[in-house]
Chains A and B, each alone.
Chain A
Amino acid sequence: MVSSSKIALSAYELVEEVKVGSISVEDYIASMIERIGSMDERINAYITLNDHALEEARMIDKMVKGYSNDNGSYATKSLLGVPLAVKDNISTQGIRTTCASRMLEDYVPLYDATVVKRLKGAGAIVIGKTNMDEFGMGSTTEFSAFGATHNPWVYERVAGGSSGGSAAALAACMASIALGSDTGGSVRCPASFCSIYGLKPTYGLLSRYGLISYANSLECIGLMARSVLDLALMLKVAAGSDMQNDHTSIDANSSISLDLESMNHDLKGMRFATIREIVESEGTDEPVRDSMFDALSSVERLGAVVEEVSIPSLRYALASYYTIAMAEASSNLARYDGVRYGYTAQPDGVAWNEFYSKIRSNFGSEVKRRIMLGTYVLSSGYYGRYYMKAQKARALIRDEMLKVLNHYNAIMLPTMPILPPRIGERISDPLRLYMVDICTVIANLAGIPALSIPYSMYNGLPIGVQFMARHLDEPLLLRIAYALESARGDKVRRCMI
């Protein structure tokens, strides 16, 4: 078995050891599975484990030892042997993919999501599928048909959501890297609550093929890791056009350079903007504000200039975001009707409307709420008042954000305005729960990249800081994170070991 200090290795460190043969991938995966076995009953990060993970690990060991005739191609695989946790709304061929919903409790995809395929091609091993809010609808990973995920740092707190399982798995060293999805903050929120990195890339930079749709025009597959270099490794492998599967994907490989080795450790010449409407908002918890100001001084010490700007249209961000997301969701989720896959019953002699209504009553309460609201805002007579207005508001917010980014390299914000709430504390009041997404949804509305960086702890509760940049300026976000990581050193713990 592998020692616990090795279990906490960053992916790039692990890959080096695997390639020189100092770590057996089979041992590594076996140790991780054992760790999951002992810890996950409490944390509940995983819904399903990959039965073939050990088999895949043995194949890699064989390659490294030269027993298989791959002609040494393993040497080029940048994620060789790395245990990857995949959010359970990202399709994995042959591995059950539930979206944490009863409606898909036994659905097994026939294909891998493009991003999964690319990461596997680089040598990553899917270790399991992680818990989430059902279909991605939530900010706490409490709305799951498989029970809530607990925050590894403080058990009775939520892990954040909706990619809570992936974030918790990383923080608890039950995976080395993870995939999440981010529709309005679903990668960044749990990253912040669990003290890891969470990147929401530029819309379209990562193919959405295989990501089970919640709100198509807003969502992205997101990358989660415990180090900036790991994020960079993942991004290099996962990014790139997939026009053969996804017409909304973009070809940007040439314009994204991710050479972190040559990156400066400072932020000289950088100009960052903070947003007055958010910093001054009474919805922002005091410890979060304090952490934000501390981060502000940190980047200034690294040479950046920070100024405050105002974006008045942000007032409409949540109304716009939720209107669009719910409208798209109500249509996307219509396909779950018990005919072709998923939860079902015998159709014999059942009137079709009753059959559908009965099958579909098995969605969870938050999903039903959003489907109903989405149905309402699209129904005849209301389209112009809600959906069209929301899209116009979105265009307005996007324009204002891009204008700010014309003058500044990045926008700096808290990731979440609140500390991780206690389990059960927030879910009974839907609207109040929606309000905590204010700092994250704006990146989804504008389609720009955003990164949550683990920054501090308050009474053992993690607090992240968030940066947003221009379209395709992921390298800048990684550079900021790298500079902060180097400067802060061991002040921020990113895993429990």
Chain B
Amino acid sequence: MTSIGNSDARVRIGLEIHCQLTALRSKLFCTCPADYRGKEPNTNVCPVCLGMPGTLPLLNRRAIEYAMMLALVLNCKIPSRITFYRKNYFYPDLPKNFQITQYNAYEQASVGVDGVVELDDLDGSSKTIRIRRLQLEEDPGRLAYDGSIDRSNYALVDYNRAGVALVEIVSEPDFNAPNEVRLFLNRLASILEHLGICNPALEGAVRCDANVSIGEQARVEIKNINSFKDVERAVTFEITRQRSLAARGIEIRGETRHWDDARRITVQARAKEEEEDYRYFPEPDIPSIVISSKDVEAIKASMPELPHARVERFVNVYSLSRDTAKILVGEKHLADLFEASIKYYDNARSVANWIVTDLKGYLERYDDGGGDGSSSSSNSVILAKVTPKHIAELAMLVDSGKINRATARQILQRVIATGMLPSAIVQSINVDMLSNKDELASIVDKVIEEERKAFMDALSNEKALNYLLGKVMRYSNGRADPKLVLSMLKERVIGTSKTGQ
């Protein structure tokens, strides 16, 4: 294995990733709706998720199936019997003062164990990331404060989120560089989207803790990283921080730090977190769950097409280049848009290039920098307006020479603003290339008439031609083909100098 970029074998990074199963309709252990977002505090709750006395957890079967799918994609083993455990600790956002989760210290109890992910798109080299375990657990509620946390005298609790299903993925500390972390998380986001189990673009749907150590130094935990995008930043900052401490001969303390996404630094956790004793034991209200190899096969068979297979299909069926296919599949919505668009216009390579260069370029310029590894929230607003028909028409109009690429990009902006179809926009602003020479000739003549002085200058100075060209373009509302106008202007100049006018 070759060393990759800034990879440093002394740097060891491990990840703990929480993904909400946002595709579920109900919570993990009760029938409250899973979609808590935007609701009045404590209105998405019931006796079970409030931990009222006498209530019992009711496991959502679909949650196990989703977790099993993810475990299979990450090449985990699925034990024949999985068990839930109680993790006991007091916290006001935890209705029962224990969290129902999974725990592998006494047995292989979690939905997935011992997985591996090959990072093979690292500039020609590859490496293996081991997945220690994948487990299902419940999300706690959320704390808020009147004004700032420091000034407030109490906490305010909203249990709407309490009990929402989370999958936790724990990796071994196999990453040696921040870019490996980014690649892994991008891959994971694409997998989540392809499985359709988690929408990473939703606020708080994916969260990550990272642990970073260098050489023999102590391990530092970074908590509170609330988007995939920030993980690379946080890890990069932390490596730099630890290196600079080491350079000054200062010993690195094993500690928990928090990611401050506003200042983009890691900060020491406010109070030293006490050594917790979680007193794990098997949740007695949920029997151990037996999963047969037949069940696993059935889940496998029910799984949608996964990123790797989709890239192969794009290459083989649509003759896309592997790079283009990977870019499309890396963001499922782009790949979906591609496949839907070619139903309207079957030049696959043209459609693909349009999406990968023009549309993606546009999205990147408008990216607000927040969100996660796949798409930001403003991007999803944009993408909601661009339909396959839009893409197909744009590609078709460009291919047929009716509009040029620059115009097409302008039309894209109008599509996003109005939702109109490109062909309709073309008609409404009459953007069809003025290829009719007669019509164009009359505009050229009019400009020469008005700009006599500039025209005379053009006889000796080519730069003046550009001034005239600009004027023609203005009069034509940008519809003229600049190449054609230029050649017409040159003809006139040559004609004039020949006649000696």
Contact = CB atoms under 8 A, between A and B. Distances in A.
Direct contact of A and B (CB under 8 A): yes
Interface of A: 89-91, 97, 99, 104, 107, 109-111, 113, 208-213, 215-217, 244-248, 327-328, 330-331, 334-335, 337, 339-341, 347-349, 352-353, 356, 375, 378-380, 383, 387-388
B56 A379 contact: no
Interface stretch (B260-268, B280-288, B411-419, B431-439): B280-288
A335 B95 CA distance: 7
Interface in B79-117: 86, 88, 90, 92, 95-98, 106
Given A248-B287, A331-B88, A383 B277 contact: no
Nearest to A391: B282
Most buried by B among A330, A331, A378: A331
Contact of B58 (A216, A244, A331): A244
18 contacts: A208-B56, A209-B56, A213-B54, A216-B285, A217-B284, A247-B56, A247-B57, A247-B286, A248-B285, A328-B284, A331-B88, A331-B98, A331-B281, A335-B53, A375-B279, A378-B281, A383-B280, A387-B281
A109 B53 contact: yes
Chain A to chain B: the 10 pairs with minimum beta-carbon distance, closest first: A334-B97, A378-B279, A216-B284, A217-B284, A212-B53, A91-B54, A210-B54, A212-B54, A348-B153, A335-B96
Given A91-B53, A213-B285, 5 more contacts: A111-B47, A335-B95, A335-B97, A339-B157, A379-B279
Interface string B43-68: 00001001111111111000000000
B86 A331 contact: yes
Contacts of B157: 339
Interface residues on B, range: 20 to 34
A247 B58 CA distance: 7
A379 B54 contact: no
A380 B106 contact: no
A335 B54 CA distance: 11
Given A209-B55, A328-B284, A337 B90 contact: yes
B110 to A, nearest CB: 18
A334 B281 contact: no
A383 B281 contact: yes
* Interface secondary structure of B, over-half rule: loop
Contacts of A89: 54
Contacts of A341: 52-53
Interface of B: 47, 50-59, 86, 88, 90, 92, 95-98, 106, 153-155, 157, 277, 279-281, 284-287
Nearest to B276: A380
Contacts of B285: 213, 216, 246-248
Contacts of A110: 47, 52
A468 to B, nearest CB: 22
Contacts of B154: 347-349
Contact of A334 (B56, B88, B153): B88
Nearest to B93: A339
A218 to B, nearest CB: 9
Nearest to B88: A331
Nearest to B42: A340
A210 to B, nearest CB: 4
Most buried by B among A91, A213, A340, A387: A340
B56 A246 contact: yes
B56 A327 contact: no
Contacts of A375: 279
Contacts of A334: 88, 90, 96-98
Contacts of B97: 334-335, 337
A388 B54 CA distance: 26
B47 A340 contact: no
A110 B92 CA distance: 21
B53 A383 contact: no
Contacts of B47: 109-111
Nearest to A217: B284
Given A248-B285, A380-B277, A211 B106 contact: no
Given A216-B284, A375-B279, A339 B92 contact: yes
Given A247-B285, A334-B96, A104 B153 contact: no
A340 B95 contact: yes
B56 A378 contact: no
A211 B54 contact: yes
A245 B58 contact: yes
Contacts of A107: 53
B53 A99 contact: yes
B280 to A, nearest CB: 8
Contacts of A104: 53
A91 B52 CA distance: 10
B105 to A, nearest CB: 9
B106 A388 contact: yes
Given A109-B52, A247-B56, A379 B277 contact: yes
B56 A340 contact: no
B92 A97 contact: no
B58 A335 contact: no
A219 B55 CA distance: 14
Contacts of A246: 56, 285
A375 B280 CA distance: 11
B277 to A, nearest CB: 5
